[in-house]
Amino acid sequence: MNRYRIKVTHSLDSLQKLTVFELWNNEYPQQLVHERITDFENYLDLLIATKHYLL
């Protein structure tokens, strides 16, 4: 039985952005790291028809 719920959203709140930002920078190579949260937010703003899947 799966005890996790997947939340689908088209936008992220501040805490979700910060969490994804930290995950991103820990998992992707240095060439894809965003130095500041504002850099990451700018990247997200460029995406079209976003759909985020959160656990």
pLDDT score at 18: 97
Please tell me the distance from the alpha carbon of residue 28 to that of residue 37, in angstroms, as a whole number. 15
Tens digit of each residue's pLDDT (9 = 90 or more) over 1-55: 678 899 999 999 999 999 999 999 999 888 899 999 999 999 999 999 999 999 8
Task: Compute the chain's Rg from CA coordinates.
Answer: 12
Which pLDDT does position 1 carry in this prediction? 66
pLDDT attached to residue 49: 92
* DSSP string for residues in the chain: ------EEESS--HHHHHHHHHHHHHHS-GGG--SSHHHHHHHHHH-SS--EEE-
pTM over 0.85: no
